Amino acid sequence: MSFLNLNFSDTSKQAQVEAMELPLQARAINVLNIFRFILSLIFISLYLFMSTETWWDKNTAPLFFNLSVAYFVFSIVALLINPLKSASHPFLLPLQVVIDIFFITFLMHAAGGIQSGLGLLLIISIVTASVVSNGRLALFYAAIASLCLLLEQSYQIMLEDLSAASYTQSVMLSLSCFATAWLAYSLAKRMQQSEALASARGIDIENLSQINALITQEMQDGVIVVDENFNIRHHNLQAESLLTLSRNNTDNIELAINAPEIATAFHNWVKGEDASNNSTVSIGGRELKLRFMEMNQLRNMGAVVFIQDVSQLQSKAQQAKLAALGRLTANIAHEIRNPLSAISHANQLLQEEERLSAPTSRILQIIEDNIQRIDQIIQDVLKLNRRNRTDLEEIELNEFLTDFYTQFCAVEKIPTAHFQLGPLLKKQIITFDKSHLTQILWNLCKNGWEHGQQKCNSLNLNYRSLAGNGISIQITDDGNGIIEKDRSRLFEPFFTTKTSGNGLGLYISRELAEANGASLEYQPLTQGSAFVVHVKKFS
């Protein structure tokens, strides 16, 4: 469709909308003015093209023409003053109708009287005028028309010496005017009530539509409306966030392009292959649960798709469970530390004795090792309650990673050839709690070193800029990786694949990352594993 055609279509639609929104009285006034204008032209045409032999009365023909011209001028004036709004506007309309009645009566007289049939035009004027006035002046117009008809007939009787029986037609037409006026009054009242009811219903529907839109936008689940052509016709803010849809795009959004996973699930549901209506797809690292609801009881006519972020629900449930667990374990940790300190002190005293046998020394060393392990677990548990205490600061990433690399290799006694720091990019500034970032990278690098082969290039640390305003810091190792069945539990607390681990390192790292507005995810490699920290740049 060309631009001109589109513009014309929009203009035509706008005109139709404006015409529909025009009040009934205003439309009736326009009809009355146009009717008056056309009627005057018809009268003038009758005089100009009608032969004198067929004219009603040759003596009154010039009078008929002069009245028709005057009526034409009056119709032009009425058309010109109609758009003008003034305080006297409501009084001009009844005056115009009365003038219409006078003109039609005089024209009827000039055309030969009641026998000409022009008196029937009074009924049209009365009906239209009654609609304009909402029926309030209907009987008044009928009375004026009846009075004019009777006076005109009385003048004809006096002029031509007719019998009193000639009043019959005038009386019948007068009664018709009153009957029509009463019917128009009833119809006007009915239309006025219907218009008021429709207006009230329209306001109710508009309010209900706004309430529904507000409820939809505030829903925690994503909602999209898909038509039969697989186009997204409507979506809420949550769906916008989950599927990365454009907010300002007013055209139809193709589902297959913007969310092909949902398009495939929707296609299977339309064909009836998804009997459970409980599809699950993975988009952008999120696990999304889909539920389809058909419109008009037909699946191929479109549907409403409810999108639930399962990973977020699981995360919230886990957060609530772990919050209670954290409070409990913190209290227990404080209670354990006191007797643990006494045991550690007693163990040290025993180790200081002379002439200890080898088995005894070995037993005391085992006790010391397990005391340190328990103390480390207590320290990790206590850190759980401090994960939200962030002290954000601007960090120059190149300088920070260089210092971290040097410190980590020195403390963990790792040869620099075995741990490679990737090429650093141009100056990058991030906002993060420096101690939290250090702990996250330390946990990930130590975990990667312990699971790697501990040879040249076994451990790598690098970062890269992402599209938009993000940076990803990646730690990779060359170990055996994580088997698929354990990946879903990787960030659960106290889950570990090592015999000596406590299973809190990865969990604490992810908690600290989220506390700083970042995210931590695991990516399997062909050889080894990769942990990626997604951080926002400083803006």
Across 17-21, 191-195, 211-215, 253-257, least confident range: 17-21
Q: Within this chain, do residues 176 and 117 fall inside the same structural domain, yes or no?
A: yes
pLDDT digit string (tens) for 64-90? 888 888 988 988 888 887 776 554 556
* Predicted confidence band of residue 127 (pLDDT cuts 50, 70, 90): confident
Q: Within this chain, do residues 95 and 163 fall inside the same structural domain, yes or no?
A: yes
With the C-alpha atoms ordered 218, 294, 229, 260, is the resulting torsion angle positive or negative? positive
Return the structure tokens found at 117. Answer: 């049939």
Of residues 410 and 117, which shows the higher confidence score?
410
Residue 206 lies in a domain: no
CB 221 within 8 A of CB 307: yes
Q: Within this chain, do residues 375 and 411 fall inside the same structural domain, yes or no?
A: no
Residue 211 lies in a domain: no
Q: Within this chain, do residues 279 and 380 fall inside the same structural domain, yes or no?
A: no
- Give me the CATH number covering residue 253: 3.30.450.20
In the 8-state DSSP scheme, what is residue 537?
A: B
Query: Cα 526–283–278 angle (5° rounding)?
Result: 115
Residue 8, pLDDT score: 33
Of residues 525 and 47, which shows the higher confidence score?
525
Element (H, E) at 508: helix 505-515
Q: Within this chain, do residues 68 and 194 fall inside the same structural domain, yes or no?
A: yes
Q: Within this chain, do residues 87 and 169 fall inside the same structural domain, yes or no?
A: yes
Of residues 134 and 17, which shows the higher confidence score?
134
Please, what is the end-to-end C-alpha distance for the chain in angstroms? Answer: 43
Q: Among candidates 329, 441, 429, 428, which has minimal Cα distance to 379? A: 329
Say how far apart CA 155 and CA 151 lie, in whole Å.
6
- Given 384, 418, 439, which residue is the final one in a domain? 384
pLDDT digit string (tens) for 339-380? 888 888 888 888 877 777 888 888 888 888 788 877 777 776
Long-range contacts (CB closer than 8 Å, 24 or more residues apart) made by 299-302: 299/269, 299/270, 299/272, 300/228, 300/270, 301/227, 301/228, 302/225, 302/226, 302/227, 302/228, 302/233
Domain count along the chain: 4
* Predicted confidence band of residue 323 (pLDDT cuts 50, 70, 90): low
Q: Within this chain, do residues 73 and 190 fall inside the same structural domain, yes or no?
A: yes
Residue 420 has pLDDT above 60, yes or no: yes
Residue 215 lies in a domain: no
Q: Within this chain, do residues 304 and 320 fall inside the same structural domain, yes or no?
A: no
Burial 17-26 (b: 16+ CB within 10 A, else e): eeeeeeeebe
Residue 512, pLDDT score: 82
pLDDT digit string (tens) for 163-208? 777 788 888 888 888 888 888 778 777 877 887 888 888 888 888 8
Identity at 138, one-letter amino acid code: A
pLDDT digit string (tens) for 479-502? 888 887 777 777 777 777 666 666
CB 404 within 8 A of CB 439: no
Say how far apart CA 518 and CA 472 lie, in whole Å.
10
- Give me the CATH number covering residue 417: 3.30.565.10
Residue 249 has pLDDT above 60, yes or no: no
Say how far apart CA 331 and CA 342 lie, in whole Å.
18
Of residues 395 and 133, which shows the higher confidence score?
395
Residue 14, pLDDT score: 43
Alpha-carbon distances of 145 from 139, 242, 260, 429, 457, rounded to whole Å: 10, 72, 73, 89, 108
pLDDT digit string (tens) for 12-38? 444 443 444 445 566 667 777 888 888
- Given 281, 312, 343, which residue is the final one in a domain? 312
Dihedrals phi, psi of 134, to nearest 5 degrees? 60, 30
Q: Among candidates 410, 395, 413, 474, which has minimal Cα distance to 441? A: 474
Q: Within this chain, do residues 329 and 432 fall inside the same structural domain, yes or no?
A: no
**Does this model's pTM top 0.85?**
no
Residue 514, pLDDT score: 82
Range of the domain at 378: 315-384
- Given 295, 312, 329, which residue is the final one in a domain? 312
Of residues 534 and 129, which shows the higher confidence score?
534
Residue 37 lies in a domain: yes
Alpha-carbon distances of 496 from 315, 325, 481, 493, 504, rounded to whole Å: 19, 18, 13, 8, 8
Strands 529-536 and 279-283: unpaired
Q: Within this chain, do residues 186 and 154 fall inside the same structural domain, yes or no?
A: yes
Q: Within this chain, do residues 374 and 401 fall inside the same structural domain, yes or no?
A: no
Whole-number average pLDDT of the chain: 77
What are the residues facing 475 on neighbouring strands? 461, 531
Q: Within this chain, do residues 335 and 418 fall inside the same structural domain, yes or no?
A: no
Residue 213 lies in a domain: no
Residue 212 lies in a domain: no
Q: Across residues 258-277, what is the average pLDDT?
A: 79
Helices (H) and strands (E) in the chain, counts: 16, 13
CB 341 within 8 A of CB 262: no
